[in-house]
């Protein structure tokens, strides 16, 4: 693999993902409407119910809308990661995934390109969300907007890699509904996205324990701190480690010799 062929491949995969995204306006709108509904309705309703004390990275009391904004950015990344893996399962069933996998580049690199393409789209969505949220008084310092990029990138890579790993295990598109119920919702709700961890500990020690082992919590905290110009080292390390593990599992999953795809009917083309 030469550098030029690697860059051309990356350009091809990212361009395709962007074109598909532009062509599917409904996907863009639904990806945006979901967190905005949470911000406009859920946060407004719970503003007076849920008090948020001064906890890092905040230096003063903040509105509940401001507290859940990083969680909603995490939600965009989470749903986008799952959307990408859904499209991988769809592409595999429809056949277009094979075009990618028979390209003369290492499989790990092809999967990385696919991952980066999905995350690029998610970052655009996240910034459109932040622009709208500005009018809802979610106004982090200017430096926060710049630091959000690497935080969103790393968080998006982790959630995208998790989606890739899941897509290598899912045999048929119909099974994907299970992922929604067993992965996305538990990950989102059992995290610090909607409530601070100390609040959760007050109500349930078990739930608190689950939240502290949920990688999504660390992605949200990484974003939260970056948004206020700070670095949460522990969150960054956990997210980086989880990204590596999920990506390695995805590469093994897509390996024709060792992976889930080599098993009977495991995403195989129709047998002849």
Partner 1 sequence: MTEDLALDVDQVSFSYGNTQALNKVCLQVPESGFVALLGANGAGKSTLFSIITGLYSAQQGTVSVKGHALRTDTLNALSKMGVVFQRPTVDMDLSVIQNLRYAADLQGIPTAEAKNRIALGLEQHELTGFEKRKVGALSGGQRRRVELARALLHRPALLLLDEPTVGLDLQSRSNFVAHVKSLCADIGTGVLWATHLLDEVVTDDDVYILDKGLMVEHGTVVELVKKHNVDDITAVFNSIVVREAS
* CA distances to 32, 94, 139, 161, 183 from 61, in Å: 27, 51, 14, 35, 32
Let me know if 29 is exposed, middle or buried by CB neighbors in 10 A (0-12, 13-18, 19+).
exposed
Kindly indicate which of the ranges 17-25, 75-83, 120-128, 152-160 contains the residues binding partner 1, using the contact rule CB under 8 A: 17-25
Residue with tokens 């890579």: 157
Q: Which residues contact 165 (CB under 8 A, 6 or more apart)?
A: 246, 247, 249, 250, 253
Minimum distance, C-beta of residue 7 to partner 1, in the bound complex (Å): 9
Contact between 30 and partner 1 per CB under 8 A: no
Residues in 244-263 at the binding interface with partner 1, rule: CB under 8 A: 256-257, 261-263
**CB distance 130 to 227 below 8 Å:** no
Residues in 64-103 at the binding interface with partner 1, rule: CB under 8 A: 94-96, 98-103
Measure the CA–CA gap between 254 and 165, rounded to whole angstroms. Answer: 9
**Beta carbons within 10 angstroms of residue 148's beta carbon:** 21
Measure the CA–CA gap between 264 and 270, rounded to whole angstroms. Answer: 11
* Interface pick for partner 1 out of 20, 139, 141, 241 (rule CB under 8 A): 20
**CB distance 37 to 23 below 8 Å:** no
Nearer to partner 1, 15 or 175 (CB): 15
Residues in 105-124 at the binding interface with partner 1, rule: CB under 8 A: 105-106
Nearer to partner 1, 117 or 123 (CB): 117
Contact between 212 and partner 1 per CB under 8 A: no
Contact between 271 and partner 1 per CB under 8 A: yes
Contact between 196 and partner 1 per CB under 8 A: no
Nearer to partner 1, 60 or 271 (CB): 271
* Interface pick for partner 1 out of 9, 111, 165, 235 (rule CB under 8 A): 9
Nearer to partner 1, 11 or 139 (CB): 11
Measure the CA–CA gap between 267 and 264, rounded to whole angstroms. Answer: 8
3-state secondary structure of 102: coil
Number of residues located near partner 1, criterion CB under 8 A: 39
Minimum distance, C-beta of residue 74 to partner 1, in the bound complex (Å): 28
Minimum distance, C-beta of residue 143 to partner 1, in the bound complex (Å): 36
Measure the CA–CA gap between 78 and 155, rounded to whole angstroms. Answer: 9
Contact between 26 and partner 1 per CB under 8 A: no
3-state secondary structure of 248: helix
Residue with tokens 């091809």: 12
Nearer to partner 1, 8 or 33 (CB): 8
Minimum distance, C-beta of residue 262 to partner 1, in the bound complex (Å): 6
Residues at the interface with partner 1 (CB under 8 A): 1-2, 4-5, 8-9, 11-13, 15-16, 19-20, 23-24, 94-96, 98-106, 256-257, 261-265, 268-272
């Amino acid at each position: 693999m030469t550098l030029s062929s690697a860059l051309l491949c990356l350009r091809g995969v990212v361009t395709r993902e962007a074109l598909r995204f532009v062509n599917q306006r409904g996907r863009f709108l639904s990806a945006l409407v979901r967190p905005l509904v949470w911000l406009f309705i859920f946060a407004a309703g719970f503003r007076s119910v849920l008090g948020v004390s001064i906890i890092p990275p905040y230096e003063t009391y903040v509105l509940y809308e401001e507290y859940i904004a990083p969680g909603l950015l995490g939600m965009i990344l989470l749903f986008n990661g799952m959307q990408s893996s859904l499209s991988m399962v769809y592409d595999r069933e429809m056949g277009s995934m094979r075009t990618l996998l028979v390209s003369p580049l290492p499989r790990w690199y092809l999967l990385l390109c696919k991952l980066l393409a999905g995350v690029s789209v998610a970052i655009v969505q996240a910034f459109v969300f932040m622009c709208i949220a500005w009018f809802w008084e979610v106004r982090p310092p200017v430096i926060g907007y710049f630091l959000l990029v690497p935080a969103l990138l790393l968080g998006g890579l982790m959630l995208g890699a998790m989606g890739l790993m899941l897509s290598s295990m899912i045999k048929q598109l119909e099974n994907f509904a299970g992922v929604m119920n067993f992965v996305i919702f538990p990950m989102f709700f059992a995290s610090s996205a909607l409530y601070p961890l100390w609040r959760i500990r007050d109500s349930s020690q078990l739930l608190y324990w689950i939240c502290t082992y949920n990688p999504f919590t660390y992605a949200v905290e990484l974003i939260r701190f970056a948004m206020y110009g700070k670095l949460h080292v522990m969150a960054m390390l956990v997210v980086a480690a989880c990204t590596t593990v999920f990506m390695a599992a995805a590469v093994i999953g897509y390996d024709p010799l060792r992976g889930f795809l080599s098993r009977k009917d495991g995403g195989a083309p129709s047998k002849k």
